[in-house]
Amino acid sequence: MAIVLGPNRYGKAETRLVRVHRDGDTHGLVDFNVSVALSGDLTATHLTGDNSGVLPTDTMKNTVYAFAKEHPVGEPEAFALLLGRHFVTTQGQVSSAKVTIESVAWERLGPHSFQRRGDFTRTTVVTVTADGAQVVSGVSGLVLLNTTASEFHGFVKDRYTTLPEATDRILATAVDAKWRHLGDDADWGASFEGALDGLKSAFAGTYSYSLQQTLLAMGTRVLTTRPEIAEVRLALPNKHHYLVDLSAFDLTNENEVFIAGDRPYGLIEGTVTRDDVPAASAEWYL
CB 229 within 8 A of CB 282: no
Burial (CB count <10 Å: 0-12, 13-18, 19+), residue 188: buried
Number of residues that bind its own copies (CB under 8 A): 142
List the end-to-end C-alpha distance of the chain, in Å, as a whole number.
Answer: 31
> Cα dist. 257→149, 168, 246 in Å?
17, 13, 9
The least CB distance from residue 20 to its own copies, in Å, is: 5
Of these residues, 27, 43, 45, 57, which one is catalytic? 57
> Cα dist. 69→36, 63, 86, 149 in Å?
18, 10, 15, 50
Nearer to its own copies, 131 or 274 (CB): 274
Identify which of 146, 126, 144, 128 has the alpha carbon closest to the alpha carbon of residue 136: 126
- Contact between 8 and its own copies per CB under 8 A: yes
The least CB distance from residue 40 to its own copies, in Å, is: 12
Which of 24, 130, 154, 278 lies at the binding interface for its own copies (CB under 8 A)?
A: 154
The least CB distance from residue 184 to its own copies, in Å, is: 20
Q: Are strands 241-243 and 106-110 parallel, antiparallel or unpaired?
A: unpaired
Report the distance separating Cα 38 and Cα 40, nearest Å: 7
The mark string for 65-104 relative to its own copies (x by CB under 8 A, - otherwise) is xx-xxx-------------------xx-------------
- Contact between 143 and its own copies per CB under 8 A: yes
Q: Which of residues 195-254 bind its own copies (CB under 8 A)?
A: 200-201, 203-205, 208-213, 215-216, 219-220, 223-224, 231, 237-238, 241, 244, 246, 248-249, 251-254
- Contact between 127 and its own copies per CB under 8 A: no
105: enclosing H helix or E strand: none
Q: What is the DSSP letter of 227?
A: T
**Whether residue 57 lies in the annotated active site:** yes
Report the distance separating Cα 178 and Cα 281, nearest Å: 15
Nearer to its own copies, 95 or 271 (CB): 271
The mark string for 258-277 relative to its own copies (x by CB under 8 A, - otherwise) is xxxxxxxxxxxxxxxxxxx-
- Contact between 53 and its own copies per CB under 8 A: yes
Of these residues, 86, 181, 240, 241, which one is catalytic? 240
Cβ count within 10 A of residue 68: 20
- Contact between 120 and its own copies per CB under 8 A: yes
* Segment contacting its own copies by CB under 8 A, of 40-48, 76-84, 127-135, 176-184: 40-48
Residues annotated as catalytic are 12, 57, 240
